[in-house]
Chain A
Amino acid sequence: MNWIPKFNSSNSLRVIFVIAIFILLFLSSVAYKHNRDLNETSKLVMHTYEINIQLERLMSAIKDAETGQRGYIITRNERFLSPYLFSRDKVNTSFIALKKLTADNPKQQKNLQRLYKLIIQRFVSFENCLKYSEPKSYDKRRLDNHMFGGRILMENIRFQVDEMNDIEKKFLQSRLKKYDQEISLGPVFSISLFLAALSFILLAYRQISKDIERLKVFNRKLLISSGLMAESEKIGKFSTWQWDLETNKIDYSDNQFRMLGCEPGDFVPVKETFLEFVHPDDKEMIAKSMDDIIENETLPFVYYKIIRPDHKIRYIKSTGKLLVDRNGSKVLLGINFDITDEHLLNIQLKERNSELEKSNKELASFNHVASHDLQEPLRKIQTFISRVSDADKALMSDSGKDYVSKIEVSAKRMRVLIDDLLMFSRTNTTKKEFIKSDLNELFENAKVELTVIIDEKKAIITNTKLPKLHVIPYQIEQLFINLIGNSLKYSKPNVTPEIAIECSKIHSAEYPELLDQAIKKFYKITFTDNGMGFDPQFKETIFVLFQRLHSKTDYPGTGIGLAICKKIVDNHKGYIIADSTLDQGSVFTLFLPE
């Protein structure tokens, strides 16, 4: 069945989808990773800046302390000392923050340690400066020393801070560089992957829409064919049903309901519903065959009657089959044919047949009557007439003698009629025993039979070689006798009769209108004479029983001879045709199947 669509694209579709999904998953994971990297980097930047800021803050606090100290030393105003005093706390706060920020970096921690020492030293130097600048304990040399020392320390601190800043910056830069490297490959790769996924999806979409188109077409076809099926069930007078043995669900086709005399969907069929329609005579048989079908997996034709709700009886023929599908579930399929018309016709035919047989028997017994009971009295009449001797006749009056001879003639004619009629009916009723026979021999026999008249008319009969065929020998002999006899009888007076018999093998296709095309080869045998011929308009009627073209007195005959020929040829499934031109002779053509 070609029309069932094959959607083999579904597998490739599945593959395409899986690939596309994998690509998308991959893409999103890459994106997620980038995002995280970015986050980290920005955190790192913040970190670096924070350290930077804290370091700057540290520096400025120290500077503040230095400025405040200077201011105090110069002015001796206590107010200048407050930033110095605060700076110590600020430094500590920043320092703690820095310690936290660089916890993950041992190198920075070490630097921080070093810075811390320097800062402590600086503050010691501040204390010393303050101490030696106090008027009470003023020592210029020592103050200068500490001031210079503070200055150097300050340089060192700055240097240390710068170094720490540099380290952070370098770290940041290397991180940024790595990040840039990673991220620079990303866009092209992602976009191309994305495009690939997109194209896969597009491909799938195209495939799907194509399949949908095909599905639509097949769906339409399916609709048409199911419509056709329903129609053909109606016209063909059959119906179908399905019985799913797993679910025990039975489906009737629409026509099944109609066949049972209901409208489609009038009831929900179950196993027992159908039996309710079956005629009581057949119920048992149908119930049994329903059970058998499951066992035998097939239901041979069953014939039965059903009764429709309107009490009409229909004759049904059913058959069924058990189908097991791929999943192993069993479904019974069945067809019911409504054969009521055929059944009734059959009954009629049987009646006609028996009538025909009866009339055939009657015909046969008529044949018997004709052959014996009719012939006997006639024969006796003739024999008794023949026994009226010349001596007896001499004693009769002239009219008496005349009557006797008229009786004789009539009796003779009746004899010929009865004989011919008998022969005609016998060509039909006697047993038809086909024997492989040499037609040449039968032809010779026919000539022997006609010796007297052939000699009398000095007829010239020629023939080509005839075949060997399966025939009823004496019927073919009779056929030859009748045809040659016919030609001799209707020969032209004072002309030597010439009859030519010719035989050839032909193909039935050469005579398409005439011959049965089921039989391929025929022998065509023609009988051509130079006799009186006949008007071609009679070429069909001459084969009809009792058809005569000449008056009884000119040419005695019964009009049965050619009818016998026709019958014999019919018996052999052959054909006979005649053609003629008046006064030119006639041609009789036989076609006998090989």
Chain B
Amino acid sequence: MKLFIKFDINTICSLYLKQKLEEEKINFTTLGFGEIELNENLSTEALDKLKNNLSPYGFEVVENQKSVLVQKIKDAIIELVYMEDSNNYKSSVFLAEKLNHSYGYLSNVFSEVTYSSIENFIILQKIERAKQLMLVNEMSLTEIAFLLNYSSVAHLSTQFKNTTGITPSAFQRIIKKRREYLK
């Protein structure tokens, strides 16, 4: 038997992090995805212990302020891409309002830390969403182009190809074949 499971990685991570912190008996408040505020000051020793306990699960305590901001930008972008009415927003405005910084500043910090631009990241996320819609929801390219605010199917195809190096139809074909092959 084979099941296809659709999951939201953000929810899983939040839940898991919460569990871990509760295990450590740490008093905390969640501020947003990947951001928590500790209600007490931890000793350096306790902090190190927490870091060590979290690292095997891929959690990493980000200490650098800029990295924190980048993480926030990423979260905001993901939120935007997955929003039902994302068509109503211009991404630069959305990010500036959401994070209380000018878009120029955000953009600079982002490329400084990731060596890639916010625009590229948005495209990457949109294409990722498109892949998901294509594979899980089995939507047509026309529907996806509309949902993700592309001016045309051609535009979506072009961006897909530019980002992944392959066309949407080839992508679909390959993933289908791969599922068969790995079965």
Contact = CB atoms under 8 A, between A and B. Distances in A.
Interface residues on chain B, size class? 10 to 19
Interface string B144-174: 0000000001100110011000010110010
Contacts of A474: 170
A449 B169 contact: no
Interface in A423-452: 437, 441-442, 444-445, 447-449, 451
B30 to A, nearest CB: 42
Chain A, interface residues (CB within 8 Å), range: 10 to 19
Contact of A444 (B153, B162, B173): B153
Contacts of B169: 437, 441-442, 445, 473
B176 to A, nearest CB: 11
Contacts of A444: 153-154, 157, 167
Nearest to B152: A444
A26 B158 CA distance: 114
Contacts of A447: 154
A437 B169 CA distance: 10
Most chain B CB within a 10 A radius of its CB, from A441, A442, A448, A473? A448
Contacts of B157: 444-445, 448
A442 B167 CA distance: 9
Contacts of A448: 154, 157-158, 161, 167
Nearest to B154: A444
A125 to B, nearest CB: 161
A71 to B, nearest CB: 165
A449 B167 CA distance: 9
25 contacts: A437-B169, A441-B169, A442-B169, A444-B153, A444-B154, A444-B157, A444-B167, A445-B157, A445-B161, A445-B167, A445-B169, A445-B170, A447-B154, A448-B154, A448-B157, A448-B158, A448-B161, A448-B167, A449-B161, A451-B158, A451-B161, A451-B162, A473-B169, A473-B173, A474-B170
Interface of A: 437, 441-442, 444-445, 447-449, 451, 473-474
Interface of B: 153-154, 157-158, 161-162, 167, 169-170, 173
Given A444-B154, A448-B158, A448-B167, 20 more contacts: A437-B169, A441-B169, A442-B169, A444-B153, A444-B157, A444-B167, A445-B157, A445-B161, A445-B167, A445-B169, A445-B170, A447-B154, A448-B154, A448-B157, A449-B161, A451-B158, A451-B161, A473-B169, A473-B173, A474-B170
Sorted nearest first, the 9 A-B pairs with minimum C-beta distance are A445-B167, A448-B161, A448-B158, A448-B157, A441-B169, A451-B158, A444-B157, A444-B154, A448-B167
